[in-house]
Structure 1
Amino acid sequence: MARIWLLVLTGVLLAGQGLAQAPEMVRVPAPEDTASLPLYEDNGAGLADTEIWTDTGTERWARNVSHPTLLPVLPDPEVATGAAVIVVPGGGFQFVSMDNEGYPIAHWLAEQGVAAFVLKYRVMQTPEPEAEFDAHMQRRFAPTPDMTPIDVRPGIPPAVEDAQAALAMVEARAAEWGIDPDRIGMLGFSAGAITTLGTVQAEDGAYRPDFIGYIYGPMTAPTVPETAPPMFVALAADDALFGQQGFGLVEAWQSAGKPVELHFYDSGGHGFGSYRRGNPADGWFDQFLRWMDGRGLREAEADQEPVSR
């Protein structure tokens, strides 16, 4: 069965690869991840651990997450800049794209002197058997007229709450990790971009990011609060989900007098993340770093204490 929803979601169809047969999804063991930190003191005590890891053939997804975690990926002390970024993978609030939009992004940031933290946040429950999950995901990303589309809105509040808890944790342990508490940003992909925007808009949020990267999220105009931080936006024109929505998000930031930089690539599809497929969107990470540098976000402070590892 050619899973068109999966090919579109990962950008294969729209990245010049042509129509392809999607590999079978296979359940795999969760990685042994002793470095991950639980987000909450009880971290879902009393809740069953329902987490499932599924290999799609090109990446692994964590789904049915009920115990959210934060994984620190710290830079070498010799190159540490004091900046930090919480990486928020996407997945339509049905899973967390750990391999494409999580781990590799964090390691890229750490190599460039930025302390990175991969957020595995709570998502909506999906059917356990992979075949049923496949049908469920078609309803989410490529529903036919006879299908009832999945409403993802109930998945947003828990994700935003987890992102706020992640910001609180990083700020509380900033000295321990050699981080400047005024340079803690968020970098969100797709559903992770929605989550990142949610932390900016949260009325009850004591913790908000100092800067954000908004990667292939919805482009409709949001409400921009007075506290909105500088924003970097990356999107491909051939993104099947958001590429034809216009630029309301960017225009709203401009109208509010907030700094924003937009990179609108000719091709790359949706979900280009850490992939390198020979498309213009491949350059987004280097441009994100240049944007950080232009804003002085990677300038190490003279009195910055090196982090102990």
Structure 2
Amino acid sequence: MKTQPQPKKVMLILCSFFFSLVFVAQAQNDELIHIWPDKVPGETAPKHPAVVTDNNSGGVTRLTDVTDPTLKVFLPDDKVNNGAAVIVCPGGGYRILAIDKEGYEVAEWLNTLGYTAFVLEYRVPQKQEGALNDIQRAIRIVRSEAEAWKLDPEKIGVIGFSAGGSLAARASTRYNEVTYKAQDAKDKLSSKPNFAMLIYPAYLDKGENRSLTPELKIDDNTPPMFLFATADDAHANSALVIATALRDNKIPVSLHLLPKGGHGYGLRNGNPAGETWPALAEIWLKSTVK
């Protein structure tokens, strides 16, 4: 006589199956790409995982001492995948990376819109030239593997927050410069993003009398940009000066300036600016990335 499974045993089997599915789904979104196959250009420290700082105030995970830059892949559901990608650059004053608030959470939001997202761990602290190498290489990697991720290689953008906004702006204006020695065939591809979103960007007004930072060379080929800041942010002038430069060069630009919101809010609830910019960015993306 065949015995029937006991209810508790059935429940354990079902739970085990459920968690296996969850694990598989997470594993698919947990692909980690090491940007540099061998030695990291200009880096003297050995490669090692980023260091999580002791400061988790505001419920933020902060990384520092990045010597092995990576891209973490976040895949949208196949039903909504629109064939476009966004590389996410967290902020942190080029000292740390606010990796969850301005990285992973943003990637998950982009997934809901159909975008494949790649969160960039670029070099910190105070390695601005290394960080530029990292984002240029990251864009080339994503472009080179576009077919594997079901992407259009001409629909690869960047989004950056604070210092990450500075880095996204640098990638959008210095893509013609050779900033590191070619590593492989990927480096023959363009490092120019097709569109850029700068959310409360910083350090873009380091020119004379708080004008545009001299390294940012805007011309007819600069990609379209979405800019968001608040008037009470000490860094708000950055968004204003780059918006003016883009307008003067007839580059499509969308600038939004709210009265209040401060700085560093990501897209978390509880701050009017953090609750506002994602909806505006979604509208802009629909009209820009076609």
Q: Is TM (by shorter chain) over 0.5?
A: yes
Q: In the alignment, is residue 56 of structure 1 matched against residue 56 of structure 2?
A: yes
Deviation at 1:223, TM superposition (A): 2.9
Q: Which runs of 5+ in 1 are unaligned?
A: 1-31, 125-151, 300-309
- Offset, 1:227: 1.8
Go from structure 1 to structure 2 and tell me whether the alpha carbon gap of 1:53 and 1:254 turns closer, same or farther (over 3 Å shift).
same
Aligned equivalents of 1:291, 1:245: Cα separation in 2: 20
- Provide Cα deviations, 1:219-278, integer angstroms capped at 9, x if missing partner: 5324313320000000011113x1356722111000011000001011111111122214
Matching residue of 1:168: 140
Give the match for residue 271 of structure 1.
Answer: 264
- Which residue type is aligned with residue 285 of structure 1? P
Q: Is the 1:68–1:120 contact (alpha carbons within 8 Å) kept by the matching residues of 2?
A: yes
3-state SS in 1 of match to 2:148: helix
Between the aligned partners of 1:53 and 1:43, the Cα distance in structure 2 is 23
Query: Is the contact made by 2:30 and 2:74 (CA closer than 8 Å) also made in structure 1?
Result: no
For 2:95, the equivalent position in structure 1 comes to 94
Provide the residue aligned with 2:10 in structure 1. none
SS at match of 1:287: helix
Alpha carbons 1:265, 1:281 under 8 Å: kept: no
Query: What is the aligned-residue RMSD (CA, Å)?
Result: 2.1
State the AA in 1 paired with 2:166. Answer: I
Write the distance in 1 (CA, Å) between the matches of 2:221 and 2:97.
28
Deviation at 1:280?
3.7
Count of aligned residue pairs for this structure pair: 236
Question: Hey, what's the Cα distance between the residues in 2 that align with 1:171 and 1:245?
Answer: 29
| Higher RCO structure, 1 or 2 (CA under 8 Å, sep 6+) | 1
In 1, Cα distance between equivalents of 2:274 and 2:266: 9
Are residue 204 (structure 1) and residue 177 (structure 2) matched?
yes
Partner secondary structure for residue 181 of structure 1: coil
Q: TM-score, normalization: structure 2? A: 0.76
Deviates more, 1:274-283 or 1:111-120: 274-283
Which residue identity does 2:122 align to in structure 1? Y
Residue 218 of structure 2 aligns with an amino acid whose one-letter code is V
Q: Residue 238 of structure 1 aligns with which residue?
A: 232
In structure 2, what is the Cα distance between the partners aligned to 1:278 and 1:68? 31
Identity within the alignment, %: 32
Alpha-carbon separation, structure 1, partners of 2:239 and 2:30: 43
One-letter amino acid matched to 2:250: G
Secondary structure in structure 2 of the residue aligned to 1:289? helix
Give a deviation string over 1:127-167, Cα, whole Å, max 9, x none. Answer: xxxxxxxxxxxxxxxxxxxxxxxxx5xx2211111001110
**Structure 2: gaps of 5 or more residues:** 1-26, 179-189, 206-211
Shift of 1:290: 0.5
- Report the CA distance shift for 1:278/1:192 in structure 2 as closer, same or farther (over 3 A): closer
